[in-house]
Amino acid sequence: MLAKISARSGLHVFGYRGYQSIIRGGHVWYQIDISEEKLLSHQEGIDILVALNQDAINNQKSHLRENAVVVYDPTKTNTEILQGRNLRFVKLPMLDIAMKESGNPIMRNVAAIGAVLGLVGIDISIFESAITRMFTKKGEKVVSENIKVGSEGYKNSEVKQMFVIKGDKIHRHVIEGNAALALGAYASGCKLYSAYPMTPASTILHWFAEHEGNGVTYKQVEDEIAAINVTIGAASAGIRAMCGTSGGGFSLMVEGLGLAGMIEAPIVVVLSQRTGPSTGLPTKTEQGDVLFAMHASQGEFPRIVVAPRNIEECFKLSSDAFNLADRYQCPVIILMDLYMSEHSETTDAFNFDSIKIDRGKIAWQANPAERFKRYLYTDDGVSPRSIPGTPGLEFIAGSDEHDEYGDLVSDAFSGIDEYVETRRKMMRKRMNKIETMLKNEDVFHPAITNESAKNFLVTFGSTTGAALEAAQILNSQGMDFGVISFNYLMPLDADKTKKLLEGKSLIDVEVNFTAQLAQIIKSNTGIDIQNRILKYDGEAITAEQIAKEAQKIIQNK
């Protein structure tokens, strides 16, 4: 609610939350960064702490900045452990306000929002407008009570403006990564989303459930094995389909991924990473499944792995993923993580007119004189596919190796030359797609900022925003830094990537233990990035942490 109100004020917002996986909830927090400038990641430290319970004070005390404001309800919390520090305190009887104006204790958080708006100088009329829009469906009484509670918090005698921040009055949108991804899929013609709920991918399922009937449907299945098989079936039937999960669920999808590779089904799979192995820290973030995504399933077959770097790319890359899946008839894996999936930020309206749909090679007319070769050998590796039900274009799609018609050859092998050559031919056909991708798509290499810099932070996906802000910090300190970031991880254009990285002072930045991006770079280019900043405690890396560690590395060179 606070993020939306801030965005309506013309401010930029970046929201990130922390919650526990235990049934009782545990300590829960939501950090909202508000700025006059575009925010690329969450920041360290707290300027205003709204303590809705004692846990908030006990657990967040070490994050309070000098001269921070603590808003608390003296009937619910005490601030003894904060005494003696240079802090400012606002006693706000949140519960009393909520009960007096609404009779509903849950509305005490709305009183807190009103107080925060007063502290940062946001006009209360914007709050009233936002509340009206958000709660109209619940009735005029609910709207009125929320406005009254928030206004009382805003007008409280303890509340006065302590921060100066002015928006540009441009109405911005606030959206989470998973919602942006789902919206991009919808814009590109995705008709089915199949999943078993698993944090942090679950809200993609929520989005499709909320929008069913608008040209899309969803299927909540019994497990992740069913999820990917439903997706393969739908894609084979000619519609655009996607499934999603986290690492544990993706482990179950692996056999289905290989099936999609063998029958060349154009599916999109979302893998939103959390910490592992096993259940790990199920509500924390990590980038530990990169190599897993790239090599999951037995055998060799082409796949594309992409990792959005911001909210806009969640929208764009999910729409691009369907074009790539159709164009090359292979699985496309969208590599998210909890940080990218669940954070929210302000963005301009997405450009739906920019979405172009390419269904790839589809055969619509049969040749009566010959049987349809679904897996016709082609130099580019891509065969015309048909939509089931098209007269004369029937074919077999089996998990065994097959010939150009789809007829299985595994049982007939026994060293017979004809079948041995069929296997070689089909493998070459499928794997030729990789060379075709690299030839036709100018995306399989990293982007670079500040090309003439002396030093570069090398990263990918969700850590890109923090790396860009870290470079700004380092440059403000008189150091010379740029950023090289990847959003397409597989296949990788080795020549272009090597040319871009060669001869530069590089520092690898990742949220995992084994520097998986650095391993990918080394295996493709031979460049071994020795200097590394790695975080693997479940929390997202910050710009301040990157800048501090990068400075140490440069000083020790």
In the chain, the domains with their CATH numbers are 2-171 (3.40.920.10), 175-354 (3.40.50.970), 447-555 (3.40.50.920)
pLDDT at 415: 64
Q: Using an 8 Å Cβ cutoff, are 362 and 386 in contact? A: yes
345 has which bridge partners? 14, 175
Q: Give the mean model confidence (pLDDT) for residues 443-455.
A: 96
Element (H, E) at 511: none
Question: In one letter, which amino acid is 36?
Answer: E
The pLDDT tens digits of the residues spanning 161-192 come to 999 998 888 889 999 999 999 999 999 999 99
Among residues of the chain, what percentage have pLDDT more than 90? 93
For residues 159 and 112, give the distance between their C-alpha atoms in angstroms, rounded to a whole number: 10
For residues 471 and 468, give the distance between their C-alpha atoms in angstroms, rounded to a whole number: 5
Q: Looking at 229-293, which runs of residues are DSSP E strands?
A: 240-245, 268-273
Q: Using an 8 Å Cβ cutoff, are 541 and 535 in contact? A: yes
pLDDT at 412: 59
pLDDT at 431: 98
Question: What tokens were used for 197?
Answer: 């709920």
Residues in the chain: 557
pLDDT higher than threshold 80 for residue 555: yes
The pLDDT tens digits of the residues spanning 325-381 come to 999 999 999 999 999 999 999 999 999 999 999 999 999 999 999 999 999 999 999
Q: Which residue has the tokens 């013309």?
A: 10
pLDDT at 148: 96
Q: Which residue has the tokens 């082609």?
A: 378
Mean pLDDT (the chain) is: 95
Among residues of the chain, what percentage have pLDDT more than 70? 99
For residues 502 and 517, give the distance between their C-alpha atoms in angstroms, rounded to a whole number: 16
Q: How many helices (H) and strands (E) does the chain have?
A: 18, 19
Q: Which of 474, 437, 450 is nearest to 555 (CA)?
A: 474
Q: Which residue has the tokens 């104006």?
A: 101
Q: Using an 8 Å Cβ cutoff, are 380 and 433 in contact? A: yes
For residues 143 and 129, give the distance between their C-alpha atoms in angstroms, rounded to a whole number: 10
Q: pTM of the prediction? A: 0.96
Q: Give the mean model confidence (pLDDT) for residues 481-504.
A: 98
**pLDDT-based confidence at residue 199 (cuts at 50, 70, 90):** very high
